[in-house]
Amino acid sequence: MSDGAALAGPDGALRCPWALSTEDYVSYHDEEWGRPVHGDDALFERISLEAFQSGLSWITILRRRTGFRAAFADFRIEKVAAFTDEDRERLLADPGIIRNRAKVDATLANARVLADWADGELDELIWSHAPDPATRPAPKTLADVPAVTPESTALSKTLKKRGLRFVGPTTAYALMQACGLVNDHLETCVARSAL
């Protein structure tokens, strides 16, 4: 049983313990989680997937990401914003995604809101909430990694005020972790030094 400290993976390298439960997690952890993500469509995808993850394990979303991308036009904001009622019904019947009505509706509504924003506005807004890395010591164990921060609370409030849904403070913090606004790889994790 781990005390939340980094653990050796099959290759002997130390990693965040959550990353070692499946091969899917290892590659996601090593190649994607915590690396900077820019671009409105890319960030819309991450916002949408984090919203779908709410109440579920991330592996459930990760293993369906190809299905999500196919169902939601690769998360191109303009395309999703133009989805019709027929598209909504198609999504609610699609076994390749999570067929949660509230989350599907939120994703469609968010795309419609974001379609009215200037190019680069979502990227700029999200990244404006990144904390100063110098104020964040490297976490030694998972117990040192928060679920919510003042920055994620502020990001959540800003996104909600601008009309987005399913963007609570915990979801906002998960987004910040996944998109590299914060580096929550543990101090001795091999991926931390690769960033």
Check residue 194 and give its pLDDT: 80
Q: What is the domain partition of the chain in residue ranges?
A: 40-179
- Of 81, 76, 65, nearest to 25 (Cα)? 65
The 10s digit of each residue's pLDDT in 100-121 is 999 999 999 999 999 999 999 9
Residue 1 has pLDDT above 60, yes or no: no
pLDDT at residue 2, as a whole number: 58
Looking at residue 193, its pLDDT comes to 82
Amino acid (one-letter) located at 6: A
- Torsion, Cα of 104, 145, 184, 151 (10° steps): 60
pLDDT exceeds 70 at position 29: yes
List binding-site positions for Zn(2+).
Answer: 16, 29, 185, 189
Instruction: Note the pTM of the prediction, 2 decimals.
Output: 0.95
- Give yes or no for residue 127 having a pLDDT over 60: yes
Report the catalytic residues. 28, 50, 58
The three-class DSSP label of residue 167 is coil
Classify domain 40-179 by CATH number.
1.10.340.30
Q: What percent of the chain has pLDDT over 70?
A: 99
| The residue to which tokens 């998360």 are assigned | 75
Please report, in range form, the residues annotated as the binding site: 16, 29, 185, 189
Average pLDDT of the chain is 96
